[in-house]
Amino acid sequence: MITEVGKFLKYCCVLVVIAITLNACYYDKADSIYPDITTTTCDTVNITYSNQVSGIINANCNNCHASALANSIGGGINLGTYTAMKPYITNGSFLNSILHNGQAAPMPKNASKLSSCNILVIQTWINKGALNN
């Protein structure tokens, strides 16, 4: 009888050790499987209008909002130059539109949201004063 209880306890100990080991493995691997995308791949240092922001707008917005197209297919909103786009930064509609937060028409129109890195770059530029730099 004593030996049966002993075997049972031993069995339990082995199970506990296995559970702890597997758990440790899971957490070790989680760090490498889910790295923090924001800090590892999105460079938000030295953001300027000419180096990053205008490129993002050209690639994602100016097929409708370029100066020559704004009135026909861009809803009258010209994002073709810094001077033309600045009012939409100031009134918040630019940021609201790319955040898809319900406070402005979601942009880019009929397309998926900008990448989280592109949004972060634009937010960083706005937070630093949205300069024509």
Instruction: State which residue, 47 or 114, has the beta carbon closest to ligand HEC.
Output: 114
CA separation (Å) from 28 to 33, 37, 40, 41?
Answer: 9, 18, 18, 21
- Give the total of residues touching ligand HEC (CB under 6 A): 21
CA separation (Å) from 122 to 3, 47, 101?
Answer: 70, 8, 16
78's tokens: 């010209």
Map the footprint of ligand HEC across residues 44-63, applying CB under 6 A.
60-61, 63
Distance from C-alpha of 55 to C-alpha of 62, rounded to nearest angstrom: 10
Given candidates 35, 55, 75, 87, which one binds ligand HEC under the rule CB under 6 A?
75
Given candidates 47, 66, 77, 130, which one binds ligand HEC under the rule CB under 6 A?
77
In the complex, which residues of this chain contact ligand HEC (CB under 6 A)?
60-61, 63-65, 73-75, 77, 88, 93-94, 97-98, 104-105, 107-110, 114
